[in-house]
Amino acid sequence: MDNKKFPKVVIIGGGFGGIEVAKKLKDKEVDVLLLDRNNYHTFQPLLYQVATGTLEADSIAFPLRKMFKGQKNFKFRIADVTAIHPENKTLSTNIGDISYDYLVLATGATTNFFGNKQTEHFAMGMKNVREALNIRSYCLQNIEQALLAKTKEERLAHLNFVVVGAGPTGVELSGAIAELRNHILGKDYPELDTREMNVYLVEGLDKVLANLSPKASEKAALYLEELKVQIRLKTQVTGYDGNVITFADGSSIASKTVIWSAGVKGQFPEGIDPTVIVKGNRIQTDEFNRVKGLDAVFAIGDVAAVITDDTPRGHPGVAPVAQQQGRALAANLLRFMNGEAPEPFKYFDKGSMATIGRNKAVVDIGKIRFQGFFAWWVWMFVHLMSLIGFRNRLVTFINWLLSYVTFNGGIRLIIRPYQRTPLDETDQTK
């Protein structure tokens, strides 16, 4: 039974922000209940390596119960929250109604297909472990199907891989697929001509990694070209039917595999006033991460937008923002409980980085910019140390080392073949 004498803090979402709130409330006079659809935390920055077979899924996932082992004021439940009722401080979930004194929405984001239902059905997003595993299986399945193709056109459609969106995820993913072609395809599939496998990176803006420095963007494009990734800038996708992806300029690419990393949107249960939802389906909050118009409901991470004069568009949807907001919110929750004035959240930008492939990465830290081999090592060190759990770090390091030394590492197993469900014609509206 809950300890009724302490305020109850319910956190929805076991991502970067949610776990930080729970950690910082350890040994405090509060009851913490964390709800998530999964019983594990996912290190999303390395999902693309699961998708391309470099890492197994359990290398980047960590059990939530194990993470909070020994935290006596903490409880966890697997639950799907369907609605929030701020008027009586309760939640509707698939495991029953749950009450709260303070509610933290750390529900993250999902892939944004910008209303194109057909593309949403046939293209593949990569925001969770299941989607990453689906991508891995489907990529391998299509290479296998290329061996059985009756015509060159059919074979090329199975060997054309299109990544939409040239942010860090798209750049890293397209680079990893290109390296799979350059180093693995000829070894595993000697019957195929590696020159027939094409990797396309499609971006609506005029450069890749638009949020990084011009030097990082320029270098990233150069590295991708060295890997023979075909970059198509200023190109808008108009549709994808599972066989052909079409563009606003009238061109198209026959492809069985389109991976969508062109945008994200916040996801959260019903019950939030639509008037506080801003661009990107994010919930507007004040500088204390408090949902606008609600006293006891807070939002952090990708689902939240702290709209102030200094941040008119909110903060970027990256892990450090969620982590810092989680720590700041935990401190403010204690201040609220003690009748003290809260402190406004201030984001400290530690920099941005992206890896494009073997010995190739770009790093921006303040005014410091560097690229190449050293940047690649910095990227690996930062991501390795950011993983939760010694085992995950060790397994990841060993996998990276083997891949680097042998040019042939990774897990290329089709354990669970991916099958698309048919698209109902009534759902093909854009």
pLDDT digits (tens, 9 = 90+) for 330-346: 999 999 999 999 999 99
When pLDDT is cut at 50, 70 and 90, the band that residue 430 belongs to is very low
- Asked whether 130 and 121 are in contact (CB, 8 A), the reply is no
Q: For residues 196 and 340, give the distance between their C-alpha atoms in angstroms, rounded to a whole number.
A: 65
What are the start-end ranges of the H helices in 160-312? 168-180, 186-188, 214-226
For the stretch 260-296, pLDDT in tens is: 999 999 999 999 999 999 999 999 999 999 999 999 9
In DSSP terms, which residues pair with 371 in a beta bridge? 362
360-403 per-position pLDDT tens digit? 999 999 999 999 999 999 999 999 999 999 999 999 999 999 99
Q: Which two tokens stand for residue 208?
A: 């890749």
Rounded to whole angstroms, what are the CA distances from 181 to 365, 394, 418? 32, 27, 21
Residue with tokens 């990544």: 163
- H or E segment and range at residue 385: helix 373-386
The predicted model scores a pTM of 0.93
For residue 238, the SS3 value is strand
Q: Tell me if domain 8-111+264-337 and domain 114-262 are identical in fold.
A: yes
Reported confidence tier of residue 309, pLDDT bands at 50, 70, 90:
confident
- Range 93-98 average pLDDT: 98
Residue 108 three-state SS: coil
The whole-number pLDDT of residue 425 equals 54
Q: What pLDDT, on a 0 to 100 scale, did the predictor assign at position 231? A: 98
Residue 124 structure tokens: 């593949």
| Rounded Cα–Cα distance for residues 78 and 13 (Å) | 10
DSSP 8-state code for residue 138 = H
Q: Is the model more confident about 312 or about 218?
A: 218
For tokens 């389906």, the residue is 281
- Residue 310: which pLDDT band, with cuts at 50, 70 and 90? confident
Q: What is the per-residue pLDDT for 270?
A: 97
CATH match for 114-262 among 1.10.357.10, 3.50.50.100, 1.10.150.20, 3.40.50.720: 3.50.50.100
Q: Which sequence spans correspond to the domains of the chain? A: 8-111+264-337, 114-262
Is residue 254's pLDDT more than 90?
yes
Cα separation of 236 and 350, whole Å? 32
Q: How far apart are CA 218 and CA 211, in angstroms?
A: 12
Pairing of strands 368-371, 360-365: antiparallel
Q: How confident is the model at residue 3 (pLDDT cuts 50, 70, 90)?
A: very low
Separation of alpha carbons 343 and 331, rounded Å: 9
Mean pLDDT (the chain, rounded): 95
Distances (CA, A) of 255 to 6, 19, 139, 197, 249: 57, 39, 11, 11, 18
Please give the distance of CA 24 from its chain centroid, rounded to a whole number. Answer: 24
pLDDT at site 4: 58
What share of the chain has pLDDT > 90, as a percent? 93
Q: What is the pLDDT of residues 121-144, one digit of tens each?
A: 999 999 999 999 999 999 999 999
User: What is the CATH class of 8-111+264-337?
Assistant: alpha beta
Residue 192 has pLDDT above 90, yes or no: yes
Q: Which residues of 392-414 are buried (b: 16+ CB within 10 A; e: fewer)?
A: bbebbeebbeebeeeeebbeeee
Residue range 290-315: average pLDDT? 93
Task: For residue 95, give the 3-state DSSP assignment.
Answer: coil
Predicted confidence (pLDDT) per residue in 204-248, tens digit: 999 999 999 999 999 999 999 999 999 999 999 999 999 999 999
Six-digit token string for 50: 């699961």
For residue 165, the one-letter residue type is G
- Of the chain, the percentage scoring pLDDT greater than 70 comes to 97
Does the pLDDT of residue 428 top 90, yes or no?
no
Stronger pLDDT, 198 or 313, i.e. the higher one: 198
Position 1 confidence tier, pLDDT thresholds 50, 70, 90: very low
Q: Which residues are catalytic?
A: 172
Q: Find the mean pLDDT for residues 61-71.
A: 97
Identify the band that residue 348 occupies on the pLDDT scale cut at 50, 70 and 90.
very high
As a whole number of angstroms, the distance between CA 21 and CA 184 comes to 42
Rounded to the nearest angstrom, the gap between the alpha carbon of residue 345 and the centroid of all alpha carbons in its chain is 23
- In angstroms, the CA 430 to CA 239 distance is 9
In 206-360, alpha helices (H) = 214-226, 319-337
